[in-house]
């Protein structure tokens, strides 16, 4: 069985409901996963948008959420999860909104893709403070046992 990441209210390649965006309540989606490999010590979740600011001329990847050290026995996150309700041991990184919490899609132009990436690691990462995505990716280098990706899309009306 391979590591698989799914969302409760959108399918891979489908549209992310407005409730999870800046046009709605800006709440995190319910995510679940299966197939965590044996030997996994922690999980990392990163949500980012490689189409910023405009998919016709992308200039950067905008980071929406960074979680690390999710316990391997966790099988998902409920919608609207708050920091206090994250699985024990889970730590948060900084997103490009300069927050350590979920920041939903809010594209200035066009339809953007939002990559929800889950990594199974063979280590528990040290407490990195409130690291950037790049700092988490550097710390997990050479420790990824498996990876899964779920892509959602969003276009503002």
Rounded to an integer, what distance in angstroms lies between the CA atom of residue 69 and that of residue 41? 8
Q: What is the pLDDT of residues 61-102, one digit of tens each?
A: 999 999 999 999 999 999 999 999 999 999 999 999 999 999
Rounded to an integer, what distance in angstroms lies between the CA atom of residue 69 and that of residue 90? 5
Domain count, the chain: 1
Indicate which CATH number applies to the domain containing 23: 3.90.280.10
pLDDT at 145 over 80: yes
Q: Taking Cα atoms as reference points, which of 89, 91, 90, 95 lies closest to residue 134?
A: 95
> 91 lies in which domain range?
4-155
Tell me if residue 139 falls in helix, strand or coil: helix
In this structure, are residues 141 and 108 in contact, taking their beta carbons and an 8 Å threshold?
no
- Mean pLDDT, residues 100-111 taken together: 96
**pLDDT score recorded for residue 63:** 98
**pLDDT score recorded for residue 157:** 82
| Other beta carbons less than 10 A from residue 39's beta carbon | 11
Q: What is the pLDDT of residues 12-66, one digit of tens each?
A: 999 999 999 999 999 999 999 999 999 999 999 999 999 999 999 999 999 999 9
Model pTM greater than 0.95? yes
Confidence of residue 131 (pLDDT cuts 50, 70, 90): very high
Rounded to an integer, what distance in angstroms lies between the CA atom of residue 45 and that of residue 33? 11
Rounded to an integer, what distance in angstroms lies between the CA atom of residue 21 and that of residue 88? 26
In this structure, are residues 147 and 122 in contact, taking their beta carbons and an 8 Å threshold?
no
Q: Taking Cα atoms as reference points, which of 79, 75, 66 lies closest to residue 16?
A: 79
**pLDDT score recorded for residue 98:** 97
């Amino acid at each position: 069985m391979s590591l698989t990441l799914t969302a409760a209210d959108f399918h891979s390649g489908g549209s992310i409901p407005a409730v999870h965006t800046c046009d709605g309540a800006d709440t995190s989606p319910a995510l679940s996963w299966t197939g965590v490999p044996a030997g996994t010590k922690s999980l990392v979740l990163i949500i980012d948008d490689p189409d910023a600011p405009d998919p016709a001329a992308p200039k950067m990847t905008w980071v929406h959420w960074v979680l690390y050290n999710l316990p391997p026995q966790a099988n998902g996150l409920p919608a609207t999860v708050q920091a206090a309700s994250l699985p024990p041991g889970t730590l948060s990184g900084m997103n490009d909104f300069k927050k350590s919490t979920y920041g939903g899609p809010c594209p200035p132009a066009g339809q953007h893709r939002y990559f929800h990436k889950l990594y199974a690691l063979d280590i528990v990462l040290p407490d990195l403070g409130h690291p950037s995505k790049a700092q988490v990716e550097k710390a997990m280098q050479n420790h990824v046992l498996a990876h899964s990706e779920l892509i959602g899309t969003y276009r503002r009306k």
